């Protein structure tokens, strides 16, 4: 089957336009997703949900990645290593990381889903 040059350029143009539309749509979706995570992280902080973690903890890194750039809006306490945990974490009775303390009372240990954090906090994700 022989395709004329004009028809071939038309097909290429249509494909290019579709790629541009899909790319712009995914950028817009990503921005909205990030904005929602920022609002969620701020809400957690406002509702006194505190995240205790450690730089050497791979599960803590997994938890941080769930929040992407919104992580910086969380109330996060760096505990250091379990062998030399800082006094703030000792006083909070942190025995492992990641740990979430809800309003100074309830404790959740381990990586938590965003949905679980939403349920316990009342913050929408």
pTM value? 0.72
Q: Indicate the number of domains in the chain.
A: 1
Return the SS3 of 102: strand
CATH code, 34: 3.40.30.10
Q: Where are the beta strands (DSSP E) in 48-98?
A: 49-53, 75-78
Report pLDDT for 81.
Answer: 81
Residue-wise pLDDT tens digits, 38-96: 999 999 999 999 999 999 999 999 999 999 999 999 999 999 987 778 999 999 999 99
pLDDT band (50, 70, 90) for residue 29 = very low
Return the SS3 of 24: helix
pLDDT band (50, 70, 90) for residue 10 = low
Residue span of the structural domain in which 83 resides? 5-121
Degrees, nearest 5: CA angle 24-25-30: 100
């Amino acid at each position: 089957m022989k395709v004329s040059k004009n028809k071939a350029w038309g097909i290429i143009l249509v494909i290019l336009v579709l790629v541009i539309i899909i790319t712009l749509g995914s950028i817009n979706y990503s921005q909205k997703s990030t904005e929602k995570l920022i609002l969620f992280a701020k809400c957690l902080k406002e509702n006194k949900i505190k995240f205790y973690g450690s730089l050497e903890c791979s599960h803590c890194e997994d938890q941080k990645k769930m929040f992407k750039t919104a992580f910086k809006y969380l109330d996060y306490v760096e505990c250091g290593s379990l062998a030399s945990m800082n006094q703030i974490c000792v006083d909070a009775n942190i025995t492992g990381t990641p740990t979430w303390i809800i309003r100074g009372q309830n404790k959740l240990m381990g990586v938590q889903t965003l949905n679980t954090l939403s349920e316990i906090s009342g913050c929408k994700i």
